[in-house]
């Protein structure tokens, strides 16, 4: 079990501030680097991330550890790049099929951003270079982004098209995070249908359902958090149900345990079948079996 951190979902104001500071100080056109919504959760999990370098704290020397863009290995992106990229925060550069740099961005989760770009722009996103940023606070990430962008500009005299001011090719409006599903209208409303039937209908009518502790935007337990993070990395459209919600899902925990014959949470259902809990989902993720499962 890895130590899990919650990162604040409210990045926007500070990222805007950093962006405008940078524009002023550089006297340059505003360049965009936040293309995708920051995943709300990210975790350092040694089991999910074989490529992550050893974490050394280098106070004050964070960016000097960044590899040069030209010296970073380019990796081909395919639609099922499960486990190929680290889930850490860092900087990434996207190249098209002719090897031209299209966009440099930063993210809280390299794997999920790269896969999201590949899914939305498959023709333009052929290979990427990624670098994990140690102690990834806003400043360190922005510095890394500047370093790579400046290296490219001084080598070619050009800004990558996706980073030009006003270019929104790689900028996707944050899709509104889905809300958790509620099984009942509230605990004081008498149910006309047994809870078992509501569960049964829910898991059969939705392709992927995760029963988690806490909400999808703020899971309350490390295992639930890992499940949410894997599903988000996978880019799968899923429904979530908070089993701790005593108001709208009253009695769900005990009923679900019986329904699924599974005594712990989280629980993940696909096409009405129980896939398992966090261990099984993690194991399938590491073996690259999830793309098939979610087809």
| 75 versus 220: smaller Cβ distance to other proteins | 220
Q: How many residues bind other proteins (CB under 8 A)?
A: 20
- What is the smallest separation between the CB atom of 280 and other proteins, expressed in angstroms? 5
Q: What is the helix (H) or strand (E) element at residue 12, kind and residue range?
A: helix 12-26
How many CB atoms lie under 10 A from the CB of residue 70? 10
Alpha carbons 223 and 230: distance in angstroms, whole number: 11
- The answer to whether 185 contacts other proteins (rule: CB under 8 A) is no
- What is the smallest separation between the CB atom of 220 and other proteins, expressed in angstroms? 6
- The answer to whether 274 contacts other proteins (rule: CB under 8 A) is yes
- What is the smallest separation between the CB atom of 191 and other proteins, expressed in angstroms? 25
E strands in 108-185:
127-132
Class of residue 65 by CB neighbours under 10 A (exposed 0-12, middle 13-18, buried 19+) = middle
- The answer to whether 175 contacts other proteins (rule: CB under 8 A) is no
* Nearest residue to 94 (alpha-carbon basis) of 65, 68, 69: 69
Task: Tell me how far apart the terminal alpha carbons of the chain are, to the nearest angstrom.
Answer: 28
Contact 253, 214 (CB under 8 A): no
Q: How much of the chain is helix, strand and coil, in % rounded to 5?
A: 35, 15, 50
Subset of 213-242 contacting other proteins (CB under 8 A):
213, 220-223
Q: What is the helix (H) or strand (E) element at residue 43, kind and residue range?
A: strand 41-43
- What is the smallest separation between the CB atom of 19 and other proteins, expressed in angstroms? 35
| 124 versus 231: smaller Cβ distance to other proteins | 231
Alpha carbons 268 and 216: distance in angstroms, whole number: 13
Subset of 18-57 contacting other proteins (CB under 8 A):
none
262, 272, 286, 293: which one binds other proteins (CB under 8 A)? 262
| 1 versus 16: smaller Cβ distance to other proteins | 1
| 191 versus 220: smaller Cβ distance to other proteins | 220
Contact 243, 212 (CB under 8 A): yes
| 154 versus 261: smaller Cβ distance to other proteins | 261
- What is the smallest separation between the CB atom of 275 and other proteins, expressed in angstroms? 7
- What is the smallest separation between the CB atom of 112 and other proteins, expressed in angstroms? 24
12, 179, 271, 283: which one binds other proteins (CB under 8 A)? 283
**Residues within the interface to other proteins (CB under 8 A):** 1, 3, 213, 220-223, 244, 261-264, 274-280, 283
């Amino acid at each position: 079990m890895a130590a899990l951190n919650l990162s604040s979902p409210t990045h926007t104001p500070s990222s805007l501030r950093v962006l405008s500071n940078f524009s002023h100080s550089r006297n340059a056109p505003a360049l965009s680097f936040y293309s995708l919504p920051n995943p709300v959760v990210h975790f350092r999990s040694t089991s999910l991330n074989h490529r992550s370098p050893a974490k050394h704290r280098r106070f004050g020397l964070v960016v000097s550890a960044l590899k040069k863009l030209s010296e970073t290995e380019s990796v081909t992106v395919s639609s099922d790049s499960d486990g190929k990229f680290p889930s850490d925060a860092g900087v990434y550069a996207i190249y098209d099929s002719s090897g031209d740099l299209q966009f440099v961005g930063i993210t809280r989760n390299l794997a999920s951003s790269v896969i999201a770009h590949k899914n939305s722009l498959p023709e333009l996103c052929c290979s990427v270079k990624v670098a994990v940023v140690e102690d990834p606070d806003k400043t360190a990430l922005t510095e890394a982004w500047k370093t790579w962008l400046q290296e490219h500009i001084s080598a070619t005299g050009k800004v990558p098209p996706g980073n030009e001011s006003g270019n929104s090719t790689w900028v996707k409006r944050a899709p509104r995070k889905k809300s958790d599903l509620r099984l009942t209208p509230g605990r004081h409303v008498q149910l006309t249908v047994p809870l078992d039937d509501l569960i049964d209908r829910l898991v059969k009518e939705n392709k992927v359902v995760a029963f988690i502790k806490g909400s999808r935007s703020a899971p309350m337990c490390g295992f639930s958090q890992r499940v949410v993070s894997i599903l988000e990395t996978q880019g799968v459209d899923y429904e979530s149900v908070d089993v701790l919600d005593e108001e709208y899902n009253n009695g769900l925990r005990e009923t679900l345990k019986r329904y699924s014959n599974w005594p712990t949470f989280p629980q993940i259902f696909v096409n009405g079948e129980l896939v398992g809990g966090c261990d099984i989902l993690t194991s399938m993720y590491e073996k690259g079996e999830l793309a098939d499962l979610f087809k």
